[in-house]
């Protein structure tokens, strides 16, 4: 799931980078030459005018690949399912970090945060059904971990969800109206790790 989101982000970044390629080599500033500066960056006309080597500092566009993992801790959960969701959130966060993606965690109580220690502390302290004082998750593609299938209907475009279906009631009201956001349905009888590694639907 994280790899797929990363590929989607990467394609978007490539497209953004191509649109910025015209400005990629614009000179942002000139400064005196320092030992080790590449010769190709010397601005010869300005260097001749001042009698001292001047080097161009270039404006460089750098895109980031954000992976936002959202744990829907404000809803009611079965205890075992919530424990699995916390494990899944931590696993996805660190997997994304290891893949050099800009991983962030969002919970209704804390809002958006990043940093290995902070994420681990928040996940260790989070509880199912906690008050959500942080508002809504960011309106950008995210990975939504929940036990509430109806919450998929309000996710931003490009988002994917992981649904724990232990207490899902059969019927139309328990199914998301927009199933395109549904990524993986977790079966409590199967190993979590194997389920998280399968491609989304």
Asked if the 64-196 domain carries CATH number 3.40.1000, the reply is no
What's the pTM value of the predicted model, to 2 decimals?
0.66
Cβ atoms 133, 109 nearer than 8 A = yes
| Strand extents, DSSP E, the chain | 27-32, 54-58, 66-71, 102-107, 111-113, 143-146, 160-164, 182-186
Tens-digit pLDDT profile for residues 132-155:
777 888 888 899 999 988 888 888
Sheet of strand 66-71, all strands in order from the earlier edge strand to the far edge:
111-113, 102-107, 66-71, 143-146, 160-164, 182-186
Of 201, 193, 149, nearest in space to 172 by CA = 149
Q: What is the largest CA-CA distance in the chain?
A: 80
pLDDT in tens, the chain (201 residues): 666 665 555 444 444 444 444 444 567 688 899 888 888 889 999 999 999 999 887 754 444 578 899 999 998 999 999 999 999 999 999 998 888 888 999 999 999 998 999 999 999 999 999 887 778 888 888 999 999 888 888 888 888 889 998 654 444 345 544 555 567 888 888 888 888 877 655
As a whole number of angstroms, the distance between CA 140 and CA 155 comes to: 9
Summarised one tens digit per residue, pLDDT across range 57-73 is 775 444 457 889 999 99
Cα–Cα distance for residue pair 100/104, rounded to 1 Å:
12
Q: Give me the pLDDT at residue 8, please.
A: 52
Q: Would you kindly state where each structural domain of the chain is located, as residue ranges?
A: 18-63, 64-196
Closest CA relative to residue 47, chosen from 32, 37, 60: 32
């Amino acid at each position: 799931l994280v790899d797929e989101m990363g590929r989607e982000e990467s394609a978007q970044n490539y497209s953004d980078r191509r649109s910025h390629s015209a400005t990629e080599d614009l000179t942002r500033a000139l400064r005196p030459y320092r030992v080790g500066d590449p010769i190709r960056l010397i601005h010869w006309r300005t260097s001749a005018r001042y009698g001292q080597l001047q080097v161009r500092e270039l404006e460089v566009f750098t895109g980031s690949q954000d992976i936002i993992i959202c744990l829907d801790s404000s809803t009611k959960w079965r205890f075992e399912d919530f424990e699995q969701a916390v494990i899944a959130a931590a696993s996805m966060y660190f997997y994304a970090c290891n893949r050099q993606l800009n991983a962030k965690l969002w919970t209704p109580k804390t809002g958006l945060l990043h940093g290995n220690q902070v994420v681990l502390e928040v996940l260790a302290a989070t509880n199912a059904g906690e008050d959500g004082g942080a508002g809504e998750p960011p309106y950008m593609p995210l990975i939504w971990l929940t036990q509430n299938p109806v919450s998929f209907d309000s996710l931003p475009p490009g988002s994917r969800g992981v649904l724990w279906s232990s207490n899902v009631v059969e019927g139309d009201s328990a199914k998301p109206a927009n199933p395109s956001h549904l990524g993986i349905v977790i079966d409590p009888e199967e190993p979590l790790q194997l389920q998280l590694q399968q491609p989304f639907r």
